[in-house]
Amino acid sequence: MKQKVLEKFLRYIAVDTASDPESETQPSTSKQLNLSRMLVEELRAMGVKDVELDEWGYVMASLPSNLPDGSNVPAIGFIAHVDSAPDASGENINPQIIENYDGSDIVINKERGFVMKVEEFPELLKYKGNTIITTDGTTLLAADDKAGIAEIMTAVEHIMANPDLPHGTIKIGFTPDEEIGRGVDKFDVERFGAEFAYTLDGGEIGELEYENFNAAAAKIFIQGRNIHPGYAKEKMVNAIILGAELNSMLPVEQRPEYTAGYEGFFHIIKFDGTVENANIQYIIRDHDSEKFESKKRLISQCVDFLNKKYGEGTYTLELKDQYYNMKKQVEPHYHIVEKAVQAMEMAGIKPNIKPIRGGTDGARLSFMGLPCPNIFAGGHNFHGKFEFIPAESMEKAVEVILNLVKLYANKDKVIK
What residue spans define the domains of the chain? 2-211+325-413, 215-322
DSSP element (H, E) containing 77: strand 76-81
Q: Which of 153, 163, 151, 248 is nearest to 201 (CA)?
A: 151
pLDDT at 197: 97
pLDDT at 99: 96
Residues making up the chain, counted from first to last: 416
pLDDT at 403: 97
Per CATH, the architecture of 2-211+325-413 is what? 3-Layer(aba) Sandwich (3.40)
CA distances from 168 to 50, 79, 197, 275, 371 (A): 15, 17, 13, 62, 18
Backbone torsion region of residue 295, taken as left when φ is above 0, otherwise alpha when ψ lies between -120 and 50, otherwise beta: alpha
pLDDT at 102: 95
Active site annotation includes 83: yes
pLDDT at 359: 76
Strand partners, 116: 106
Q: What are phi and psi of 282, to 5 degrees?
A: -125, 150
| Annotated catalytic residue within 144, 157, 178, 179 | 178
Decide: 361 and 201 in contact? Cβ < 8 Å.
Answer: yes
Q: Could you say which DSSP state residue 379 is in?
A: -
Fold assignment, 215-322 = Alpha-Beta Plaits (3.30.70)
The whole-angstrom separation of Cα 409 and Cα 67 is 8
The whole-angstrom separation of Cα 142 and Cα 12 is 9
Chain centre distance of CA 205: 15
Decide: 107 and 203 in contact? Cβ < 8 Å.
Answer: no
pTM, whole model, 2 decimals? 0.88
pLDDT at 384: 87
416 residues of the chain, pLDDT tens digit each: 899 999 999 999 999 999 998 899 999 999 999 999 999 999 999 999 899 999 999 999 999 999 987 568 999 999 999 999 998 888 999 999 999 999 999 999 988 888 999 999 999 999 999 999 999 999 999 999 999 999 999 999 999 999 999 999 999 999 999 998 889 999 999 999 999 999 999 999 999 999 999 999 999 999 999 999 999 999 999 999 999 999 999 999 999 999 998 999 999 999 999 999 999 999 999 999 999 999 999 999 999 999 999 999 999 999 999 889 999 999 999 999 999 999 999 999 999 999 988 778 898 999 999 999 999 999 999 988 999 999 999 999 999 999 999 999 985 444 33
Active site annotation includes 102: no
With H, G, I as helix, E, B as strand and everything else as coil, classify residue 311: coil
Chain centre distance of CA 331: 21
> 183-193 burial, b if ≥16 CB within 10 A, otherwise e?
bbeebebeebb
Chain centre distance of CA 136: 22
Furthest CA-CA distance within the chain? 86
